[in-house]
Structure 1
Amino acid sequence: MKTLYTTSVTAKGGRNGHLKSDNGILDLEVRTPKTLGGANDDYANPEMLFAAGYAACFDSALNLVISKSKTQTGETSVVAKVSLGSIENGAFGLAVELDVNIPGVSLEEAKSLTEKAHQVCPYSNATRNNIDVKLEVTNN
């Protein structure tokens, strides 16, 4: 891989701690969500941050694919739903559902563009064959 960009975030305290990026832009407390034993849902958590990164990155990959194909669409959106679950041997795993909306094209074209973006997106490439990623596509 030819590196194009590198960033760094320091975590202290794990799921009930603090995150800070090397440039200070990201500087926030994280807490365990209520459904996993936390006190409430008033803070960010690792799965939320992963969902935010995946959604933004996938939408960028999608718009790159759309631009290169010279297809006219409406404004795209991607909702990333990240689930944390238990897997064998007491370990934990992730699953992702990406709800992709590409208005202004047929559903068939929207699905094709989404599949192409799934091949381009670095998050998709990093997770491929490692976690389940389900693509749901709409065109309204």
Structure 2
Amino acid sequence: MPALLPSYASLDDPVAPLRAACLSAVGELGPRVRVVASGPSGRRVGAALAEAVGAVVVDADETGTLVVGNGSATRTEKAPGHLDERAAGFDAALRASFDHIDLALADELWADVTCLVGLPPLADGDVRYDDAPYGVQYWVAVWG
């Protein structure tokens, strides 16, 4: 997720399509955004995305909600957590449902998913991005 911080958006943005999808989705949330993330890094990324579209981060429930997490970070040899053959299956299960996440396996696969538990399935949303740049699985989705 740190690749989404403004300091990583150089002349050759390493995650330009992901960043564009995130900014587009966050822009639809309105002027006040609540950020839900599993840790400080996710909260920083969420705040940076909100700021980039001119939104203010608040703690109120009656705002748009931005959930920041990621699937496995072990999809390739060059991934932060290196290749783990279980990553593709884990991410496929996440793609289908956020209800029954194996948190121990998520930890082994460097997936930041505790903030995703209880969200509607991706199939119920408008998926704007689904890829694994640098071996890390990301989705950008909007639920109406």
TM-score range, shorter chain: under 0.3
Indicate the structure (1 or 2) with the bigger Cα radius of gyration: 1
Structure with more strand by fraction? 1
- The answer to which structure, 1 or 2, has the higher relative contact order (CA under 8 A, 6+ apart) is 2
Taking structure 1 as the reference length, the TM-score comes to 0.26
Taking structure 2 as the reference length, the TM-score comes to 0.25
